[in-house]
Structures are given as structure tokens and as C-alpha cells.
Amino acid sequence: MINNIIADFCSSVIFNSAGEVDLFRALARSIVKHSSSTFIDETHGGGVCNVSFTSVTGRPETCEIADLLVISSTANPSGLRATFCQAKKQAVSKWITATPNRELRSTR
């Protein structure tokens, strides 16, 4: 399942020209297509899903909690799992590299 999601995601975007929003929307479509996720919602922007807290410097801060909320069901034990995904686009990743045949490989 994970490999199908990654392959579909990688084939559906042009990384050099896609922005963060385009990328996490494409990821959401790939997750829906290749998994049994119960619910996916875009939580990006607009003050919809913000969190407020006091930073370590003592200043009040407000920021979005994530770009996507993915809720999936688990069979063993029975229940639901919530995953928050925060997208960050970096011109050159220090974590992964794309091979010529578009496979993603960890650099660590």
C-alpha cells in the first residue's frame, strides 16, 4: 500500500514547479486512491485549524496545526488513528533523493 501511494504521488506531480499546496493535495488524492483511510481533510490556512500556545521565549504564538488531517481505521486493536501532515517544500532535500527512475531513497 505505501509503495502504491508513493508511486502514484510521484507520478502525479512535477516537483520542481509544484508548490506546497499542490503537493499535499496530490498526496491526499494518492492516499485516498490507495488506502482505506476513513477521512482526509485539508486543514491548511484560513485559521480553520490553528493552535495557540506560549513559546519557550514566553511569547504567545498561533500557527496552523497541519496541512492535512488523515483519519484511518485500525483493525487490531479496533479503533481510529489521526495523523496530521505538515508539508514543507525544500529545493534540495537533505533526507531523500530521487533516482532517475523516480524512486525515492533515503540519504540517511
Alpha carbons within 13 A on the beta-carbon side of 77: 0
Q: How far apart are CA 7 and CA 19, in angstroms?
A: 19
Q: How confident is the model at residue 60 (pLDDT cuts 50, 70, 90)?
A: very high
9-13 mean pLDDT: 87
Cell numbers standing for residue 106: 533515503
Burial category of 28 from C-beta neighbours within 10 Å (exposed 0-12, middle 13-18, buried 19 and up): buried
**What pTM was computed for the model?**
0.66
96: CB partners within 8 A, 6+ apart: 104, 105, 106, 107
